[in-house]
A and B are shown apart, each in its own frame.
Chain A
Amino acid sequence: MKNENLYNYILGIADNSLILGQRLGELTGHGPSLETDIACTNISLDLFGQVRSYFQYAAKIAGDERTEDDIAMLRKEREYKNVLLVEQPNTNFAYTLGRQFLFDVYHLAFLKELQKSADLTLSAIANKCIKEVSYHERFSSDWVKRLGDGTEESRAKMQEAINDLWTYTDELFHQTEADKTMVAEGIGVDVTKLKEAYYKNVSDLLLESTLEVPESKYFQKGGKQGIHTEHLGYLLSDLQYMQRTYPNMEW
């Protein structure tokens, strides 16, 4: 492949949306209320739509037989580059929305920078996605506030979710080798520069929600290198089942 760094860079971005989209999709028919069920699955649909734009572009760069579906469905666990945060399970509604909030704040800041990419396709995708992700971020922030500043029980659950998920936030700002090359070429986003504003924005909203900002400095990493938590394997077996069982099947 001529431009392997760009290919890997795109996968690194798209896999976050793919895996989070799949997680949210699991709530179809299982959300705590009809409205939140529909909201989570609509966000999932947005993310899958974004993934298609990225993977179609990646397939074009690969320039071989592979299609967007192959990239989405036929890789092995170690080949997925998503951050650990997005593969964490829907333990309860507070976890689902806490995970969403911690990702959305990052996602929005990331897309703002990606809009300036020297790669015109990536910049166009970012420009399209950012409008949708603004709504995601409003939705998840709103729920963190409602649950945080809600009843004693909702507050305790939201706090627990934030405390548990906090350990996966630092990885968002780690640079991979593909990242560094792409940043040098003016194509990629320097995620290390997003960190300070991220923790400030997240902390401000947590405090506004009467929640405590976790103080733990112990962080998990590995997703970007393909080393995942045990949860991803189960998610992928669900995601890939149809393609693995009936190869090349189409809807």
Chain B
Amino acid sequence: MTTTEQNIDQILIPILEKVSDPEIPVLSIMDMGVVRSAVIENNIVKVEITPTYSGCPAMDVIGDDIKVALKKAGYESKIDLILHPAWTTDWITPRGRKALEDYGIAAPLNAEADKDVLLNGKRLVKCTNCGSTNTRLVSQFGSTACKAQFQCDDCQEPFDYFKCLK
């Protein structure tokens, strides 16, 4: 996991962990890996966030939510959107992956397996309802660009799969 570039002041972590992804409310933005740095400079918190996908409409909301959360904790803040290094699904923490699955979204496979399920019809994605891997791709794009639609052929559950982004 490449989280080494992260530079987050310890006392800010509990505050930022309470901010959730607006599209996946069970998932903290910290577990999503979108906060790349948060440091206090002259009483102002400087936060750098990076988008999951370029067009992700959640980024503006996430920026606003961080401002509100920090304000409640007594901090003024400045939010910057950075593009480099580019976000990867490897930055989703193990706790984040579990939150995704509990919410009904299958967590990303590794790059090779991802290609196999999206292009070669392999059945490797675990159904979030019954755990079976007897699942098939319905569409390469799901409810948002970061997900694909799958269906389980054992329990028939339709569900989203979070695509691997590397």
Task: Name A residues whose Cβ lies closer than 8 Å to a Cβ of B.
Answer: 35-36, 38-39, 42-43, 45-50, 52-53, 120-121, 123-125, 127-129, 131-132, 135, 138-139, 142
Contact = CB atoms under 8 A, between A and B. Distances in A.
The A interface is mostly helix, strand or loop, or mixed, namely: helix
Main SS class of interface, B: loop
Sorting the interface of chain B by its residue count into under 10, 10 to 19, 20 to 34 or 35 or more gives 20 to 34
Given A53-B83, A138-B118, A45 B55 contact: yes
A50 B139 contact: no
B142 interface: yes
A149 to B, nearest CB: 15
Contacts, number: 74
A49 B139 contact: no
Contacts of B54: 46, 49-50, 52-53, 128-129, 132
Interface stretch (B39-47, B94-102, B143-151): B143-151
Contact of B51 (A38, A47, A49, A135): A49
Contacts of A52: 54-55
Contacts of A39: 139-141
B72 interface: no
Contacts of B145: 42-43, 45-46, 132, 135
A128 B83 contact: yes
A46 B141 CA distance: 12
A124 B84 contact: yes
B91 interface: no
A138 B148 CA distance: 13
Given A46-B54, A49-B53, A35 B119 contact: no
A128 B51 CA distance: 9
Interface string B130-166: 0000000011111111000100000000000001011
A133 B117 CA distance: 18
A49 B83 CA distance: 12
Given A52-B55, A135-B141, 7 more contacts: A38-B142, A45-B145, A49-B54, A50-B54, A128-B87, A132-B54, A138-B140
Interface centre among B57, B118, B119, B140 (most CB of A within 10 A): B140
B86 interface: yes
A36 B139 contact: yes
Contacts of B118: 138
Given A35-B138, A138-B118, A142-B119, A127 B56 contact: no
